[in-house]
Each structure stands twice: as structure tokens, then as C-alpha cells.
Amino acid sequence: MCGITPYDATHLGHANTYLAYDTLVRLWTDGGYDVRYVQNVTDVDDPLLERAAATAVDWRDLAAEQIELFRGDMESLRVIPPTDYVAVTDVIGDVSVAVDRLLEAGTAYRVDDDVYFDNAAAASTAWTLGDESGFDRATMLALSAERGGDPGREGKRDALDPLLWMAERDGDPSWPSVVGAGRPGWHIECSVIAQRFLGTPITVQGGGSDLIFPHHEFSAGHAAALTGKPLAGLYSHAGMVAYEGEKMSKSLGNLVLVSRLVADGVDPRAIRLALLDRHYRADWEWTRGQLTEAQCRLGTWETWAADGSEGADATLLDALRSALANDLDTPAALAAVDAHVASGAPATATDIDAIDALLGIRL
């Protein structure tokens, strides 16, 4: 699971994505699977460094503060923490070794002292540019320029070749390595972390739909070039959350923060319910009315749970499992609880446990 670049954490777009894959972990665990969940944090990258410079804060302090805030927000939303939570700064050596291997194999090359991935040389049965995203070249070029790429840089063999290793620059953090002093490019980080902590192919690579290209595309390409195998069996993407007519994003500044809502007295369970009421792959717009609806729903459920009785009827449990097994259909799962409550059936211990375990709502 692709984690945050730690600044402006945690907005509801983040939370929407992490709740989607929290639901997957809950469903797999309920199904008896032993789940190993790895999430990275990109704790050194251009946007973080730019924010640190703009606010006159040391980038390490900014990252540490925002990571702590993010993890606190995830805890308040009852997102099950990953088995391994891996900072990029903890795997610099692994990344540099991987970049060196790509250079030796001829699937990477230098432009000045920077190192780039050669998409054409890396093309194979395990990955060819466009396999993961399905985008045409014009779309890829536009998204590369928009999302941290440098398609206009002179000296590259192809405009879409992504950066693997950025050589040391004045004023930027850097580390000594087998490929020279510098720091990793964005996509190679996730690829190396997945290989080290899970092995490839992993079952699912998850993230927001804004990561389809270039991030997931090139993470997949790097892994295939290093191992000869696909990075993942399935690439899964959560939809974007808009606010005030635009995608909720740091660059636009139209953020609704989990921590701010909680500080204003909003029950985190209501935030969770509001997010789960939209299918994880859908693009949608956040409104205060959705939070009000979620608060009303939570109140209705709590009243029902308080009047519960002993018992082990599995009707609701079966309905929740069925809904979530259908592409994590959380709106259908919430509707199943609503219908069960409206039916007048008393809340049983099994009902309460099922809502807690599968939806993350403790009543």
C-alpha cells in the first residue's frame, strides 16, 4: 500500500483510500487468511522538501510531525496498522543497490550524475510501458509532467523514462551509496520495499487512482526489471474525493483534515461511516451533509445496540460478508445493517462483533 508523503496529513482523500484497504484486510482476516500488510512513507521527496523550505522547518522535523499525526488519525479511525510501516529513509541502501543492478543490466543509464530507468530496454513479458495503466502516450506525457516527472529533460533516451536516483544537490538531503551520493527517485522506493518485505509478485498493490500513472506503472516496471516477475497480481485503486468542486489535494489547499474534524468534536466513527458510504473506487465530493447523515446513522445503530440481547444469529454477519466479498461494497454493507436495524431484530453479540470486525465500528 502506497503511503503518504508526510505533509498536510491526514485529509479525507487519504482516509478514504486507507479505509478501502483496511476493509480488505478485515475481510481477508475474517476469511482466515494470514495477512501481511506493508505500507511505505515517502519521508524524503521534493514536495516535502519544498514545504519544509517554505515554512522554514527542518524537513526531518516536518516529516516526523506529520507521520505522527497521520498514525494518530489512522488510530482514531480504527484503521488496522500495517504489519510493516517502512520509511524510505530506512531503505536508502537497498534502493541504491537496486539502482546499481539496473545500471549493470543495461536497463538504467546516467544523465549527468542522475540515473534514469530505460523503459524500452526494460520491456519484457513481465512488463511493458502501459501494461499497468493502459494509458496512451499522450496521456502519459501529460500526467508525467503533472505528477513529478521531467519529460522535457534533455539527455534522456525517452521523455517518459523515470528518475531512479537523484545525484546530490546543494541544500538537498543526500546519502552516500554505491551509485554515488544522492537520494532515490519516487517509484523505485515502493518497488524495493515490496520486494524486501513481501517478495514478488505481491497479491495486491493498492493506492489512490492518482497513482495509476506514473507511480504504479513504473514501480511495476522496476520490479519486473529486477526480478523478471510482475510486481503484483492485482493493482487496485481507490477513487478521488473532491471538495468545493475540485479534487481534494495538497496543491489546491482544499483539504478537510481528519484531525480538525475530531478536534471540533466529531466522533471518528461518524467520519468512518461517511467514507464507507461511498464505494471505494468511486470519485465523489465531500459535503457536510454526508457527515450529518453519518452521525444520524451512528446514533440509530447505537440505540439499537444498547437494547440488544444475547444470541448468535448470523443473519447480519452473512449479509456483511456477502456485500464486502462483492468488490468491497461498503455502501451495501451499511445498507444491510440499516435494514437489519429497521426490521426490529434485536442486536445480538454476533451482530455487534460483526459490525466491529468487518466495518470497524464499535457500538
Task: Tell me what the pLDDT averaged over the chain comes to.
Answer: 95
- Please name each of the domains of the chain with its CATH number: 12-243 (3.40.50.620), 250-359 (no CATH)
- 59-91 pLDDT, tens digit per residue, is 999 999 999 999 999 999 999 999 999 999 999
CA distances from 114 to 42, 160, 164 (A): 19, 15, 8
> Mean pLDDT across the stretch 282-306?
96
Residue among 31, 30, 43, 25 at smallest CA distance from 82: 25
- 215-250 pLDDT, tens digit per residue, is 999 999 999 999 999 999 999 999 999 998 877 776
* pLDDT, position 244: 81
* pLDDT, position 246: 78
Strand ranges inside the chain, DSSP E = 38-41, 84-87, 108-111, 114-117, 163-167, 182-184, 202-208, 232-238, 241-243, 246-247, 284-285
Helix (H, G, I), strand (E, B) or coil at 148: coil
Query: What percentage of the chain's residues is helix, strand, coil (to nearest 5)?
Result: 50, 15, 40
CA distances from 295 to 97, 266, 269, 273, 347 (A): 50, 9, 8, 8, 19
Q: What is the pTM of this model?
A: 0.94
Q: Which three cell numbers stand for residue 356?
A: 466491529
Band of pLDDT at residue 359, cut at 50, 70 and 90: very high
Q: At residue 259, does pLDDT exceed 80?
A: yes
- 315-344 pLDDT, tens digit per residue, is 999 999 999 999 999 999 999 999 999 999
- 86-105 pLDDT, tens digit per residue, is 999 999 999 999 999 999 99
* pLDDT, position 250: 66
Q: Residue 173: which residues within 8 A CB-CB, separation 6 or more?
A: 44, 49, 59, 183
Q: At residue 137, does pLDDT exceed 70?
A: yes
255 vs 187, which has greater pLDDT?
187
Q: At residue 56, does pLDDT exceed 90?
A: yes
> Mean pLDDT across the stretch 201-213?
96
